Structures are given as C-alpha cells and as structure tokens.
Amino acid sequence: MTPFLRPHLQTIPGYTPGEQPPPGSTVIKLNTNENPYPPSDRVFEALQNIDGELLRRYPDASARMFREAAGTVFDISPDWITVANGSDDLLSIIMRAFVDANSKVVYPMPTYVLYRTLAQLQGVQPCEIPYDESFNLPISQLATADGAVTLVASPNSPSGTAIPIEQLEKLAVQVSGVLVIDEAYVDFAESSALALVRDHDHVIVLRTLSKGYSLAGLRLGFAIANPQIIQDLNKVKDSYCVDAIATLLGTAAIQDQDHKNRNAERVKRSRGTLAHDLEQLGFRVWPSQTNFLLIQHPDAKALELQQWLKQRNILVRHFNLPSVVDKLRITVGTDEQNAVLCQHFTHYLSALKSS
Ligand SMILES: *Cc1c(COP(=O)(O)O)cnc(C)c1O
C-alpha cells in the first residue's frame, strides 16, 4: 500500500474472489458456483463467425441487440434493461449512483460479501442485519435501517435459500431508498421477483449469465428496472463496459432458453441426489434453490475439512462470516464429481471416528 491511497481505502480489506486454478489443472472445482455444463452451441457458432469489423469499431454502448433479445425472453421493453460487465459491475454502478458518504447501505447477513466491500469502497460502513437460523428475511429491521440502497440476494448465497415474493414485496413497500434484488441464482429457483419491478419503480432486479447460462468467463450481467432508474444507472456506467463479443455471445445464449433450462434441470436433479447423500453421511443440509448447498457436520470442523479437501484437489468454499463459520458451501457439480466428493467425505468421517 502506498500513502497515495485515499485514507478511507487504507483500512478496508477489499474483496477476495474464490480461488481460480489455472486452466488444465485437474481439481474438482466446487467453490465458485460455476455451472458444470458448457454454454449453448449457439454461443460457439457466434464465436466462430466473428469478423474483424465487429472488433475494429466501438461496440453499441447500449447493447441493443442483447436488450431486445432479453426483452423478448422476459416480456419487457428493452428500455427497462441495462447491461454491464457482470452483475458485480452493476452492483458497483448502483452504489456509485445512489450512495454517498452520508447514506446507508443495508442488507441481511450472511450474504454476498461483495456488498460489504462495495459499500466500504464508497466510504460507507454498511448496516448488516442478521438472518435467523432458518434465513427468514428480517423485513422490519431492514426497512427501519433506512438504506439509500437495500440489497437482498434471492436466492441467497451462501445459504441457498430463496425469499418468497410476498416478503420481498412487503420490504419493497417499506423501504425508502432503492431495493436491489440480486437474482444471480434464479435459474435454479422455483420463482422470481421480476414482477415487482412493474409495480414498484424503486426496485431493481439483477440477473447474470454467469451461473444459469454457463458464461462466468464472459462477464455479462443486466439490471431490470423502471426506465428512469435505468437512465440513472446508464449515466454512471462506463459507456463500453460490455464489449462487442460479450454482447454477441450473450445474445446467442439468452436466445437459447431450452439449453439453459435443460442444464438447470440437470443441476437441480444432481442437487437433490447430493443433498440426500450428504444427509446419509450425517450432514445437515439447508434447503437450496441454487446450484450449491450449505452444509454442516456435527463432528467435522468446517475450515479443517475444507483444507483437507483442498489437499486432495477438491475446492469448496468456507466463509469467515457470522453464523456460517461452522459450515461449507459446496457447488453442485456433475454427478461424477459429487460422487467423488462424497467418497472423500466418507473417508474423512471414518478417519475422524477411529481417531
Ligand atoms: C455470482 C454472483 C454474482 C456475480 O455475478 P457476475 O455476473 O458474475 O458478476 C452476483 N451476485 C451473487 C449473489 C452471486 O452469487
């Protein structure tokens, strides 16, 4: 760190992304909730047909092609949509648009750690309201905290639980600032809160192609909200934060809903099998509407187990956050990967017993 760094940034830790091993390594990677299946064939076709002209020119700053395709899929006008370099970028844009040093950023905990980092980068100490053991949304506490921005990931990470739309609507009615509903995992869930944006002009729903569409490497996320909110966000974002390739490939991906839905069904089936197998091994498994499971074992220390797995080339995620330090978050992999994981758990637990 240099003395040039702005004072409020000197004391904050910044965000630590999940470990990304180099391509070609033989790890079983269940730590960052990537989709275990490849993206749509239409994405690869579009990639093969890219010509130099697409790269010579600046991209369309509004990614109209993508917004029109997404608008068709979600039955919404394209001027209710804006795109950015992943939904992480949209979260950052939202903070820059609506939060200054005197305003509050509010969210329930535990949740996506980036919310804390982005608030701190903005010079604000966030207001974190604890979830209870069953991850019920603390609606009135969130609302009375009076955030300029209130964030709810639904389904939530690392819990995997989804908030019913009636509860999100209650919160929407009570908050005074902007309500962000981060639906990064919606493709694996039973329902969506997207309908809320029509009735509540201060609600923003965030979506990403990273999880459901198997395109975490592409970096494309989008926000859906009232056109006036969208205009506020467009004012703040970098004009060209989504490049021509991401726009083209993202359009191909979102037009292939069948591919996305098929893979989501496979992941959900594997999720059920894995949850059952883990329960057989004595794990507590929280109900999940995502492509991961939050798990806890009465005999195993979570951090030790995570490191033991890492030595055996299996990456899972441990969070040093209140109420989940004793738990692990495990991405649902292919059935083969999940079976290998369970074999390792079996070895670990039997070694524990005999020691
Ligand atoms: C993965 C994730 C994101 C990040 O999405 P990108 O589009 O890849 O930036 C956002 N929110 C939550 C809750 C996530 O888990």
Instruction: Please report the pLDDT score of residue 23 as a whole number.
Output: 82
21: Cβ–Cβ under 8 A, 6 or more apart, which residues?
Answer: 27, 29, 315
Residue to probe by mutation, ligand 1, list 31, 151, 157, most atoms within 8 Å of CB:
157
Q: Give the Cα separation of 299 and 57 in Å (integer).
A: 59
Domain 41-256 has CATH 3.40.640.10: yes
- CA–CA distances in Å: residue 313 to residues 36, 61, 306, 309, 316: 16, 41, 11, 6, 10
- Per-residue pLDDT tens digits of the chain, which is 355 residues long: 899 999 989 989 888 888 888 888 889 999 999 999 999 999 999 999 999 999 999 999 999 999 999 999 999 999 999 999 999 999 999 999 999 999 999 999 999 999 999 999 999 999 999 999 899 999 999 999 999 999 999 999 999 999 999 999 999 999 999 999 999 999 999 999 999 999 999 999 999 999 999 999 999 999 999 999 999 999 999 999 999 999 999 999 999 999 999 999 999 999 999 999 999 999 999 999 999 999 999 999 999 999 999 999 999 999 998 899 999 999 999 999 999 999 999 999 998 888 7
Residue 26's pLDDT is: 87
> What pLDDT, on a 0 to 100 scale, did the predictor assign at position 328?
98
Q: How far is CA 272 from CA 11, 57, 282, in A?
A: 42, 47, 16
Give the domain ranges of the chain: 7-38+258-354, 41-256
Nearest atom in ligand 1 to the alpha carbon of residue 111 is 13
For ligand 1, the distance from its centroid to the CA atom of residue 317, given in whole angstroms, is 15
* CATH architecture entry for 7-38+258-354: Alpha-Beta Complex (3.90)
User: How far, in Å, is the centroid of ligand 1 from the Cα of 292?
Assistant: 13
| Residue bearing the CA closest to ligand 1, atom 5 | 87
7-38+258-354 matches 41-256 in fold: no
* CA-nearest residue, atom 12 of ligand 1: 184
* Distance from residue 280's CA to the centre of ligand 1 (Å): 31
Q: What confidence score (pLDDT) does residue 353 get?
A: 81
Q: In what helix (H) or strand (E) does residue 292 lie, and over which residues does it extend?
A: strand 292-296
Q: What are phi and psi of 24, to 5 degrees?
A: 95, -15
d(CA 215, CA 86): 10
Report pLDDT for 187: 98
pLDDT of residue 322: 82
Ligand 1 atom 14: residue of nearest CA: 184
Say how many Å lie between the CA of residue 132 and the centre of ligand 1: 23
Predicted confidence at residue 354, as pLDDT, reads: 83
Residue 25 CA to ligand 1 centre (angstroms): 24
User: Residue 36 has what DSSP assignment?
Assistant: S
pLDDT of residue 94: 98
- Which of 32, 33, 87 to mutate to test ligand 1, by most ligand atoms within 8 A of the CB atom? 87
Which atom of ligand 1 lies closest to the CA of 33? 1
pTM (2 decimals)? 0.97
354 burial (CB, 10 Å; 0-12 / 13-18 / 19+) is exposed
Ligand 1 residue neighbourhood (C-beta within 6 Å): 33, 86-88, 112, 153, 157, 182, 184, 208, 210-211, 216, 221
Residue 146 has a pLDDT of: 95
